[in-house]
Structure 1
Amino acid sequence: MTATEHMTTGQRIARARYRNGWDQATLAEKIGRSVSWLSKVENGRLPLDRMSVVGQVAEALNVEIAELTGQPYRHDTAELDSGHSAIPGLRLALQHASMPGGAALLGSREPRDLAELEANVKLAERLRQDARFSALGEVLPGIITDLLISTNDERNRDRAEALMLRACHMARVSSNLLGHHDLGWTAVQRELVAAQRVGSPELVAAAAWDLCGVWLHEASVDAAKNAALAALDQIEPHVGIGGETIKALWGALHLRAAVAHSRLWRAVEAESHLAEARRVAVDLPGSGNVFQTQFNQVNTTIHAVEVSMELGRPREVISRAEDVAVAEIASSERQAHYWTCAAAGYLMNRKESDALDALLRADRIAPQHVRNRPLVRNLVRDLRDSGKHRREREVSHLASVMRLA
């Protein structure tokens, strides 16, 4: 482990500030905070428990979000390394899939039958929902490569492109989780190409939904918000006459808009988009998961917890968390996300033991997801260093397996 891997988010902020030649007063003024607040962040006495705040600081410092989070993180076992070993192969597969004539560079390789590929995509989607990113990384590059060859067959092009969009979504999610945000952007660009080639409102909406996702991960919040609103305008004429798929995507885009507005601290707009998502979800299947959006009633309540967290409303985070029937959602990733948001809320309310319980529960459900999240790492480090609890052994163990200095 290098010295920079040991740096906290606060230390990384201080480094970027020094590089700009700014004192604490200068940066504090740019982000609308006090010098005392910034000093506590840089010294590790105050956790950065919201991506909205991290993104604001990154924008003021003119750095990419990964510079402040320290991603990508590496782990000591292949299982917990969450698919890092697959990144070179995934990058090459996406490079081929994204360049004009990329299929011609693959030689005489024969793709698998489209029916087999579709079955493979479905199995891979299960791995993605279960947050089993190491296993996903083993199969995803081959799926993308075979689909690229299949898109050259005019008879099956639209079907292959639709599958390509689904495969590239999984590439986007795993790349962003691991901190390879440039690769996440490459994946979503290929999704947009697939949607354009097929032209169906459903694929256009699905690609736009994932575009919002990659921008939220990069803390490009205005861009994510604008993309969500533009996509909603584009698909609105189809919602009233379309089936459940387009309605679910309409709802999922409203959830993206709600998160984006919450990170911009625009509470009225965030709550408005949440309300529309709730309205739509009532009439759709409780197990809904079109295009891996997990758009259903439970996920709208999980998003409500996240929105309250990003808006900095501690009591509301907890009250909304109590309304989530989290066991009913068939996604380990979503369940773990819920528990990490709840943990942040408990810590905001100075309920350290409850926060630790929530983090441990999230880690049991989806360790590959949890241990790669900057938010979780900040929470664990703060719990370990605060000394405001009696469970030092459990906190120290979690910090150790996450390789936190």
Structure 2
Amino acid sequence: MPHPADEHIGTRIADYRKLRQLTQTALAQRAYLSRSCIAKVEAGLVPASPAVVAAVARVLQVDVSVLNGQPYVTELQQDRLDQLIAPLAEALDVYDLGPDPDITPRPVDQITADVKQLCVGACATEYKGIGTKLPGLLAELTTAMAIFPPGQEQQRAAMALSWCYWVAYEFAYRLGYHDLASIALERMGWMAEQAQDPLLLAVRLTKRSSMLLRRGNNQMALKVLDRGHKLVEQHDGPEVDALAVAGSLHLAAAIAAAQAKDADTVAERIRAAREAAKQIGRDVPQVYWASFGATNVAHFDIATLVELGKLGDAAKKAKTLHFPEDHPRMRVGRYHIEMARAYVEMGRTEAALNSLHLARTVAPQQARYHPLMRETIGALVRRQRMAPEGLAALAAWVGI
């Protein structure tokens, strides 16, 4: 069943604000936001950015997922994704139960090839393909880890299993199952230690920082990312790998600083990431699945400008950003969603609608389940006396 048109993050914020007996002014002061921002978000006239949602959730003492209204059960049922959650949860639970007598693991090379395809699917936001294959791979690799003798083969299995947990995190997080995503992230760290790969542990910390930002904890996110750089220093393999992971840590830190409105730190981290990309000399989307390179730095440069409220500068730089054909659709789709939000705040309805359509075209499953996509569409609907056909179609597609 579609959600009522008046059900959005703003209405939920207003409901919890009143339950906590706070005025809009009091909520704004405690969340370090302007009262006009709270008023517009509650009215649904502007989309609530992740930073705003996190800040308000902290004050109202509710989880972000409560305000986002996730997961979207009706849409998950329509896409037959809801039935994939329980098998994944069960697969995450067998990590310490030893070998499954009904499973005979294949050679590590074959398993690793399948895991790589899962990672490709995660970057392409192909959720259904991930959800059907992931539980079986988790079970197979868990058994492999239990029966392989210590050595290189077991270490390779540990690395493959760690990447499976990374995929599980991406799958659960994008669909709104954040508790499940947290479990997957913990499993990833445990197995990355078994793999003895400091870069894999650092990649996990970029995701941990995302979970912290979701709760509005900018400073802790930055501390976690600084810990990631110390792990990168322990790497003794290819320099490109270390540069790609370090660059990704800098970009994640730039987002954290932008949400904290720290423009100086944003500039510092973007410069560091740009220098790492320059040293690599090309985009390396599959190096530790960091999707790192000059293209990603340009994307995050624009994204941080949006977070800092420098919308004109972001729109100007957006004109010069062109994604390569092989750039991960997860990144491209996210970029278009971010720009749609910026264009709504700038009053550029046509540009916002175009960005929303691009987000749907590039990464449809990501767009359908992204809370900012839904909020941006809702804001456009509420600004129109009569929604044009294209906007009405998008609203129906996301369940508004």
Question: TM-score over 0.5 for the alignment?
Answer: yes
Residue 261 of structure 2 is aligned to residue 265 of structure 1: yes
After superposition, the Cα gap between the structure-2 partners of 1:139 and 1:114, relative to the gap in structure 1 and judged at 3 Å, is same
SS in 2 for 1:110: coil
* Unaligned stretches of 5+ residues in structure 1: none
Q: Tell me if structure 1 keeps the 8 A contact 2:47–2:372.
A: no
RMSD: 2.3
Pick one of 230, 235, 252 that aligns with 1:233.
230
- In structure 1, how many angstroms separate the alpha carbons of the residues matched to 2:143 and 2:304? 41
CA deviation after TM superposition for structure 1 residue 204, in Å: 2.3
- The alpha carbon displacement at 1:108 in A equals 3.7
Match of 1:91 among 89, 92, 117: 89
Q: For residue 265 of structure 2, what is the amino acid of its counterpart?
A: E
For 1:184, the equivalent position in structure 2 comes to 181
Task: Work out the CA distance in 1 between the residues paired with 2:245 and 2:78.
Answer: 33
Residue 35 of structure 1, CA deviation: 4.1
Question: Is residue 126 of structure 1 aligned with residue 97 of structure 2?
Answer: no
Is 2:329 the partner of 1:332? yes
Q: Report the TM-score when normalising by structure 2.
A: 0.92
Q: Shift in Å at residue 124 of structure 1?
A: 1.1
Deviation at 1:112, TM superposition (A): 2.7
Counterpart position of 1:103: 98
Opposite residue 197 of structure 2, the aligned amino acid is S
- Give yes or no for contact 1:184–1:214 (8 Å, CA) kept in 2: no
Match of 1:392 among 379, 388, 395: 388
* Partner residue, 2:109: 115
Paired residues of 1:172 and 1:214 also in contact (CA < 8 A): no
2:356 alignment partner in structure 1: 359
Output the amino acid matched with 1:65. Answer: V
Moved more, 321-330 or 115-124: 321-330
SS of the residue aligned with 1:265? coil
Give SS of 1:289's match.
coil
Tell whether the 8 Å contact from 1:181 to 1:218 is kept in structure 2 after alignment.
Answer: no
Over 3 Å counting, the alpha-carbon distance change for 1:366 and 1:269 in structure 2 is same
Structure 1 segment 359-378 matched on structure 2, within 5 A: 359-378=356-375
Aligned-pair distance for 1:80?
A: 4.0
Secondary structure (helix, strand or coil) at the match of 2:62 reads coil
Q: What is the TM-score with the length of structure 1 in the denominator?
A: 0.91
Give the aligned residue type for 1:339: H
Partner of 2:140: 146
| Identity of matched residues, % | 24
Q: Deviations over 1:69-117 (max 9, x none)?
A: 1011134576745x332111111111212xxx3234x444222332211
Q: Contact 2:10–2:44 (CA<8 Å) still a contact in 1?
A: yes
> Does the 8 A contact of 2:46 with 2:344 survive in 1?
no
Per-residue deviation, 1:40? 3.1
Which residues of 2 match residues 3-402 of structure 1 at below 5 A?
7-48=7-48, 50-76=49-75, 80=79, 83-97=81-95, 101-104=96-99, 106-152=100-146, 153-154=148-149, 155=151, 156-236=153-233, 238=235, 242-284=238-280, 285-387=282-384, 392-402=388-398
Q: CA deviation at 1:256?
A: 0.9
Distance in 1 (CA, whole Å) between partners of 2:313 and 2:98 is: 51
Return the offset for 1:130. 1.5
Report the count of equivalent residues.
396
